[in-house]
Amino acid sequence: MFQRIFVMCCTLAASFFLFAGQATAADIAAGSQVFSQNCAACHINGGNLVNGAKTLKKADLEKYDMYSAEKIIAQVTNGKMAMPAFTGRLTATQIENVAAYVLDQADKW
Ligand code: HEC
């Protein structure tokens, strides 16, 4: 009896972790698509064709206090200077995903 319950709990726990792992990977993968369709025009390879100082590389993100999902989500949502706002064009989930992708890529570009 106890053995069966134990096995059931392990299965549940394992599927939970598997699912959580997949969710994170899917978000970044989905964010990558959002990025190539909406951001790459100005930020190809993590650069910045409009304002060359403000790339998406970790060093620049840190320099301009942008190295956090919250800050990136706010800027994509509201826009800033020459960067357009994406409210209405992207859903909140798409914006979260693209922010996760930018952070994941920041030290890989
Ligand atoms: C039309 C060109 C353009 C598009 C499209 C664009 N950006 Fe930007 N982006 C800019 C400009 C210009 C800046 C610098 C803004 C400023 O003056 O602070 C910037 C800055 C940023 C920064 C801060 C960089 C830093 O080092 O401070 C992030 C993060 C960012 N963009 C993410 C995105 C994401 C994600 C998308 C797609 C959803 C996107 N951008 C689409 C032009 C663009």
Q: In this structure, what token pair is assigned to residue 30?
A: 């989905």
Give dist(CA 40, CA 48) in Å, integer: 9
Ligand 1 pocket: which of 32, 42, 87 to mutate (most atoms within 8 A of CB): 42
Give dist(CA 41, CA 2) in Å, integer: 59
CB of 83 within 6 A of ligand 1: the answer is: yes
- 3-class secondary-structure state, position 53: coil
* Closest ligand 1 atom, residue 86 Cα: 38
Nearest alpha-carbon partner for 100 in 56, 69, 78, 55 = 69
Q: What is the pLDDT of residue 73?
A: 97
Calculate ∠ Cα 77-79-83, nearest 5°: 135
Q: How far is CA 36 from the centre of its chain?
A: 13
| Residue ranges of the chain whose pLDDT lies below 70 | 1-26
Q: What is the pLDDT of residue 24?
A: 60
CB of 72 within 6 A of ligand 1: the answer is: yes
Q: In this structure, what token pair is assigned to residue 54?
A: 């403000």
Ligand 1 pocket: which of 54, 62, 64 to mutate (most atoms within 8 A of CB): 54
